[in-house]
């Protein structure tokens, strides 16, 4: 894209990133959550891909890193779901008797395992969407 789009993208990509992080980390307090915030951050990645082009994207995008992060997101979700397996699957033991994340409802560190799950889902959605769009952009040609 042109010079103006690239310069504006330089300033808006950190802004979109922090707004997405805000949505993800306040998923238990305000509207939004893991998927919405992850898709917002993926929007920043797609803005980078469109504004700077595929050549720059190839330099900054690492397939193995994004693949690993997506797996870590899924595993973290499963891991916190297993924390209360002594009682039941998905038993919110952090909220009932956990050492952290059992603050007063309405504060950031409350709601048990929900913030961790939101972060895990946000990470998974961000890396998954960016990987999918990068793969589509890398598709070789329109026809054989």
Partner 1 sequence: MPFIVAFLFAYIAWLALTAGSKGLLWSTEELVAGLIFAATIGYATRDIVGEDSTRFLNPVKWLLGIVYAPVLFWGMVKANFDVAYRVITGRIRPGIVRVPVDLENDAQYTIMSNSITLTPGTLTIDACPDEKALYVHWINIPEGLESPGSSEPVAGPFEKWARRLGR
Residues in the site for partner 1, rule: CB under 8 A? 2-4, 6-11, 13-15, 17-19, 21-22, 25-26, 48, 60, 103, 107-109
Cβ closest to partner 1, residue 30 vs residue 87: 30
Cβ closest to partner 1, residue 25 vs residue 92: 25
Rounded CA separation 135/89 (Å): 35
Q: Provide, rounded to whole angstroms, the least separation between the CB of residue 133 and partner 1.
A: 17
| Cβ contact 18:102 at 8 Å | no
Q: Provide, rounded to whole angstroms, the least separation between the CB of residue 71 and partner 1.
A: 19
Cβ closest to partner 1, residue 54 vs residue 82: 54
Rounded CA separation 124/75 (Å): 10
| Cβ contact 137:54 at 8 Å | yes
Rounded CA separation 53/22 (Å): 27
Cβ closest to partner 1, residue 44 vs residue 80: 44
Q: Provide, rounded to whole angstroms, the least separation between the CB of residue 144 and partner 1.
A: 35
Q: What are phi and psi of 127, to 5 degrees?
A: -65, -35
């Amino acid at each position: 894209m042109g010079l103006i789009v690239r310069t504006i993208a330089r300033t808006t990509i950190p802004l979109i990133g922090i707004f997405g992080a805000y949505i993800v980390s306040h998923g238990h307090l305000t509207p939004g959550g893991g998927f919405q915030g992850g898709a917002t951050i993926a929007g920043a990645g797609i803005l980078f891909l469109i504004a700077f082009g595929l050549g720059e994207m190839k330099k900054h995008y690492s397939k193995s890193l994004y693949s690993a992060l997506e797996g870590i997101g899924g595993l973290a979700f499963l891991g916190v779901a297993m924390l209360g397996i002594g009682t039941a699957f998905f038993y919110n033991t952090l909220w009932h008797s956990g050492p952290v994340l059992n603050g007063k409802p309405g504060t950031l560190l409350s709601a048990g395992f929900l913030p961790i799950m939101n972060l895990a889902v946000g990470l998974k959605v961000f890396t998954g969407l960016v990987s999918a769009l990068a793969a589509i952009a890398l598709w070789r040609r329109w026809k054989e």
